[in-house]
């Protein structure tokens, strides 16, 4: 199958100024870019007035956490944003390697009942996943928390020397099997008290394998600087390729996040460090994050049992009243019967239910089993702009299976004056591909895989995944053209 995209403004992902031209696709690859004369093609798309760019890469994907990798394999929500490649396994939680076969690490996001995954090793998982079929390309990080919880049988304690050695071997094999690196979330209950020597082991594993170490920092003002200083120290000691994940400059901790940016500026002179950021002032946050910290530290089932006791209802409904004036809205609910609540304000739920706000919010927590995701205006607008324009900033779509179309909004804002369109596209494509060693993707070049997005008025109208049209005129096609990815040669 040969497809000619004719007369679009070609923004090739390199960061150079776009120019009008054509893109010729044959099979799964791009064969020519530029002015193409008369050529035989099975299909021709008139892209006059549109932008033609490489398919976007979401380095902060969560389709594995929500298990929509299986329940919604066509990934229509991602395609509508122009996303053709997702890096999963973020935040320390991955679907492989599963030492005990358990999926309990993803239960905070969705029910795992009836779901069976071939995740004994990363190699087996990727082979199994590729055979099932994917709507977009999927690569993964190996989750530290997933492995650690299996080793300790969910106990909150330091690892023994033997367990630490086993952790290193397991994660090293995961990288050899095809993981793009190792991830850890320092705000996760199972990693919050991680000793520095354990973080250093993770950095050493990633460095030896020449893979990424992706770390979610603590977000509180009194902890974010220290956690980033520690990860930079570990990265410097092991010379690792470091990704600071989900780095949102919170308005309530503006001074701390201002200093963090200075820290990162200094670090980039000697370290291969990048960070990814959600590009909007309203950012996604788990519903459970509204609970007191001592309750967040519990396992989800234990926390729910407490919330359903008489004491829990009384005590926590009073606690939740403090969020009455914060304009939270519901972004995503995994339960289909409750999906109609998406987009609604939490305050409206209380108003319609004729309940005090705290009691209504607690009822929502119980009804959703603490698995909903909220949107809230948490990012500092001024700092957000400074973070986004940083040369080491990548852009993440936030990983939600439904919700706002973040990337088109980001691109329209970029065209409105934040920075040039070509720089915005570069952050979503070639910069991410180089960082994670995603070979032959992220650029419009002959020989590269034909992951291509056509943007009309800033919105994806047509999307190609490996040369196949997965989105036509804004409507998803019933095909599974994605591939299970493994990292390629080292590019830095």
Q: Tell me the pLDDT tens digit for each residue of 350-371.
A: 777 678 999 999 999 999 999 9
> Does 486 map to a domain?
no
* pLDDT band at residue 296 under the 50/70/90 scheme: confident
> Does 303 map to a domain?
yes
The verdict on 221 and 247 lying in the same domain is: yes
Of the listed ranges 50-54, 209-213, 312-316, 336-340, the least confidently predicted one is 336-340
**From residue 453, how far is each of 70, 85, 304, 479 by CA, in Å?**
24, 12, 43, 16
Number of helices and strands (H, E) in the chain? 17, 21
The CATH number that applies at residue 247 is: 3.20.20.140
Mean pLDDT rounded to a whole number for the chain: 92
> Does 491 map to a domain?
no
The verdict on 351 and 462 lying in the same domain is: no
% of the chain at pLDDT higher than 70: 98
Tell me: the pLDDT tens digits for 450-463? 999 999 998 999 99
* Run of H or E including 88: strand 83-88
The verdict on 106 and 173 lying in the same domain is: yes
> Does 232 map to a domain?
yes
What is the mean pLDDT of the segment spanning 283-296? 91
Question: Residue 317: its pLDDT value, please?
Answer: 95
Question: Residue 192: its pLDDT value, please?
Answer: 67
The verdict on 175 and 192 lying in the same domain is: yes
**What whole-number distance in Å separates Cα of residue 323 and Cα of residue 118?**
41
The verdict on 141 and 265 lying in the same domain is: yes
Phi/psi of residue 193, nearest 5 degrees: -105, 25
The verdict on 208 and 275 lying in the same domain is: yes
Closest CA to 460 of 14, 32, 136: 136
Closest CA to 307 of 357, 356, 359: 359
Tell me: the pLDDT tens digits for 3-62? 999 999 999 999 999 999 999 999 999 999 999 988 888 999 999 999 999 999 999 999
> Does 95 map to a domain?
yes
**Burial of 162: CB neighbours in 10 Å, binned 0-12, 13-18, 19+:** exposed
What is the mean pLDDT of the segment spanning 365-385? 93
> Does 320 map to a domain?
yes
Number of domains in the chain: 3
Q: Has residue 275 got a pLDDT over 80? A: yes
Report the sign of the C-alpha dihedral through residues 466, 471, 472, 476, in that order: positive
Domain boundary (414, 436, 458) is at 436
Q: Has residue 425 got a pLDDT over 60? A: yes
The verdict on 102 and 184 lying in the same domain is: yes
The CATH number that applies at residue 10 is: 2.30.40.10
The verdict on 156 and 249 lying in the same domain is: yes
Report the sign of the C-alpha dihedral through residues 395, 400, 401, 402, in that order: negative
Question: Residue 147: its pLDDT value, please?
Answer: 95
The verdict on 83 and 20 lying in the same domain is: no
* pLDDT band at residue 221 under the 50/70/90 scheme: low
Domain carrying residue 199: 56-284+377-436
> Does 36 map to a domain?
yes
The verdict on 455 and 340 lying in the same domain is: no
The verdict on 278 and 306 lying in the same domain is: no
Domain boundary (375, 395, 422) is at 375
Q: Has residue 283 got a pLDDT over 50? A: yes
Answer with the residue of higher pLDDT: 404 or 310. 310
> Does 483 map to a domain?
no
The verdict on 230 and 114 lying in the same domain is: yes
Domain boundary (375, 406, 424) is at 375
Tell me: the pLDDT tens digits for 142-199? 999 999 999 988 888 888 999 999 999 999 999 999 999 999 998 887 776 678 888 8
Q: Has residue 464 got a pLDDT over 90? A: yes
What is the mean pLDDT of the segment spanning 95-106? 92
* pLDDT band at residue 127 under the 50/70/90 scheme: very high
């Amino acid at each position: 199958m040969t497809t000619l995209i004719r007369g679009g403004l070609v923004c090739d992902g390199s960061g150079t100024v776009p120019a009008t031209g054509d893109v010729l696709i044959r099979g799964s690859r791009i064969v020519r870019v530029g002015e193409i004369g008369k050529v035989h093609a099975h299909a021709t798309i008139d892209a006059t007035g549109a932008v033609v760019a490489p398919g976007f890469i979401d380095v902060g994907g969560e389709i594995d956490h929500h298990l929509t990798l299986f329940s919604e394999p066509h990934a229509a929500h991602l395609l509508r944003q122009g996303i053709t490649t997702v890096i999963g396994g973020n935040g320390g939680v991955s679907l492989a390697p599963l030492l005990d076969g358990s999926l309990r690490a993803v239960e905070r996001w969705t029910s795992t009942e009836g779901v069976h995954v071939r995740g004994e090793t990363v190699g087996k998982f990727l082979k199994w996943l590729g055979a099932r079929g994917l709507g977009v390309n999927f690569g993964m990080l190996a989750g530290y928390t997933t492995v650690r919880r299996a080793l300790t049988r969910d106990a909150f304690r330091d690892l023994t020397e033997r367990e630490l050695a086993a952790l290193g071997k397991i994660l090293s094999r995961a990288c050899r099997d095809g993981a793009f690196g190792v991830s850890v979330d320092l705000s996760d209950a199972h990693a919050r008290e991680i000793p520095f020597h354990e973080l250093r082991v993770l950095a050493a594993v990633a460095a030896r394998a020449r893979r990424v170490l992706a770390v979610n920092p603590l977000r509180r003002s009194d902890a974010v600087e220290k956690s980033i200083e520690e990860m930079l120290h570990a990265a410097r000691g092991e010379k690792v390729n470091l990704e600071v994940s989900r780095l949102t400059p919170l308005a309530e901790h503006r001074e701390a996040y201002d200093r963090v940016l200075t820290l990162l500026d200094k670090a980039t002179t000697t370290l291969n460090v990048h960070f990814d950021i959600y590009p909007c002032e309203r950012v996604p946050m788990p519903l459970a994050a509204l609970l007191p910290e001592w309750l967040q530290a519990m396992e989800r089932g234990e926390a729910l049992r407490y919330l359903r006791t008489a004491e829990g209802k009384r005590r926590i409904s009073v606690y939740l009243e403090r969020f009455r004036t914060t304009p939270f809205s519901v972004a995503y609910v995994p339960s289909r019967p409750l999906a109609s609540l998406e987009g609604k304000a939490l305050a409206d739920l209380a108003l319609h239910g004729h309940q005090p706000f705290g009691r209504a919010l607690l009822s929502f927590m119980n009804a959703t089993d603490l698995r909903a995701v909220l949107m809230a205006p948490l990012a500092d607008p001024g700092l957000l702009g400074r973070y986004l324009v940083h040369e080491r900033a990548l852009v993440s779509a936030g990983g939600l299976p439904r919700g706002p179309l973040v990337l088109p909004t980001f691109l329209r804002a970029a065209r409105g004056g934040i920075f040039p369109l070509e720089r915005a596209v570069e952050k979503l494509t070639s910069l991410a591909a180089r960082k994670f060693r995603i070979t032959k993707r992220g650029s419009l070049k002959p020989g590269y895989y034909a992951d291509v997005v056509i943007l009309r008025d800033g919105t994806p109208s047509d999307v190609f995944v490996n040369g196949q049209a997965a989105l036509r005129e804004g409507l998803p096609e019933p095909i599974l053209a994605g591939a299970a990815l493994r990292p390629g040669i080292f590019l830095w």
